[in-house]
């Protein structure tokens, strides 16, 4: 039930959804005062959530800063979180936008910074009619020169909370000792770190897949509206709301 509700909540967190709801209400509302309030709300949403400077500033405050791993440590394993690939109708796997997670993990292994790779990712869809993401990832890791013996799969999880709990169970069953390197997107790291530590794992965050970073100043990227951000905001809002929700439930 919680998993299904989280999917519905994710849909409602998007500014695009808010705009659609307001337009729908405007179609039925005739009172001038309410129409004025709705029109002002619509304008505010569009102006605020298409502003690049505001979006970049908020994400920069939230996401975990880069870590170059200058500590010289070699980690027992790198825990790679899914969410960077998908399947088509023929169950053929493809890399998606967040595949920097995969790239950084393979780099870390070949550099000798992690001894093994724990891939945690099942099927996060409601229908669950696709193979687990970890199956596709294992195939790609092997193609990138990583021995199958050094790949550990967790293929039952549907969300980050289950990633953490299931991974902790596997680590305990294999009697592996930390610390472990947690590898996921910079925006996703604050929530992931809290959940994995709550599950009892000793982890070192290794954020990657930076979609926002401290770039050189550009007037166009500061004040010019970017309609694409109406979609991007839902992923950022999801991280904040998700962490607050897990904290309220005592899971983070």
Tens of pLDDT, residues 120-162: 999 877 666 789 999 999 999 999 999 999 999 999 999 999 9
Contact (Cβ atoms closer than 8 angstroms) between residue 183 and residue 206: yes
The DSSP bridge partners found for residue 182 are 79, 205
Buried b / exposed e over 29-52, threshold 16 CB at 10 Å, is eeeeeeeeebeeebeebbeebbbb
Domain ranges within the chain, ordered by starting residue: 2-63+219-248, 75-208
Whether the model pTM is above 0.75: yes
CA diameter of the chain: 68
Residue 194: its pLDDT value, please?
96
Contact (Cβ atoms closer than 8 angstroms) between residue 111 and residue 206: no
Residue 27: its pLDDT value, please?
94
Residue 8: its pLDDT value, please?
72
Report d(CA 84, CA 72) in Å as an integer: 28
The domain 75-208 is placed in CATH, from the list 3.40.50.620, 3.30.70.20, 3.90.25.10, 3.40.50.300, at: 3.40.50.620
**Which positions of the chain have pLDDT values less than 50?**
none
């Amino acid at each position: 039930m919680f998993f299904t509700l989280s999917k519905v909540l994710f849909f409602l967190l998007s500014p695009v959804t808010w705009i659609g709801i307001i337009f729908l209400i405007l179609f039925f509302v005739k009172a001038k005062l309410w129409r004025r309030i709705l029109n002002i709300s619509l304008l505010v949403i569009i102006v605020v959530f298409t502003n690049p400077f505001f979006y970049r500033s908020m994400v920069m405050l939230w996401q975990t800063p880069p870590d170059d791993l200058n500590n010289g440590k070699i980690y027992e394993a790198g825990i790679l979180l899914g969410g960077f690939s998908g399947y088509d109708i023929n169950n053929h796997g493809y890399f998606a936008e967040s595949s920097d997670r995969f790239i950084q993990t393979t780099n870390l292994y070949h550099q000798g910074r992690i001894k093994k790779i724990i891939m945690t990712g099942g099927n996060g869809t409601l229908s669950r009619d696709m193979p687990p993401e970890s199956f596709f990832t294992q195939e790609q890791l092997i193609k990138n020169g990583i021995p199958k013996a050094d790949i550990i799969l967790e293929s039952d999880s549907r969300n980050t909370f289950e990633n953490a709990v299931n991974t902790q169970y596997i680590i305990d069953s294999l009697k592996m000792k930390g610390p472990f390197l947690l590898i996921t997107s910079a925006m996703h790291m604050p929530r992931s770190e809290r959940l994995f530590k709550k599950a009892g794992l000793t982890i070192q965050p290794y954020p990657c897949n930076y979609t926002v970073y401290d770039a050189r100043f550009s007037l166009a990227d500061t004040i010019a509206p970017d309609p694409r951000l109406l979609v991007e905001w839902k992923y950022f809002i999801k991280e904040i709301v998700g962490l607050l929700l897990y904290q309220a439930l005592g899971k983070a």
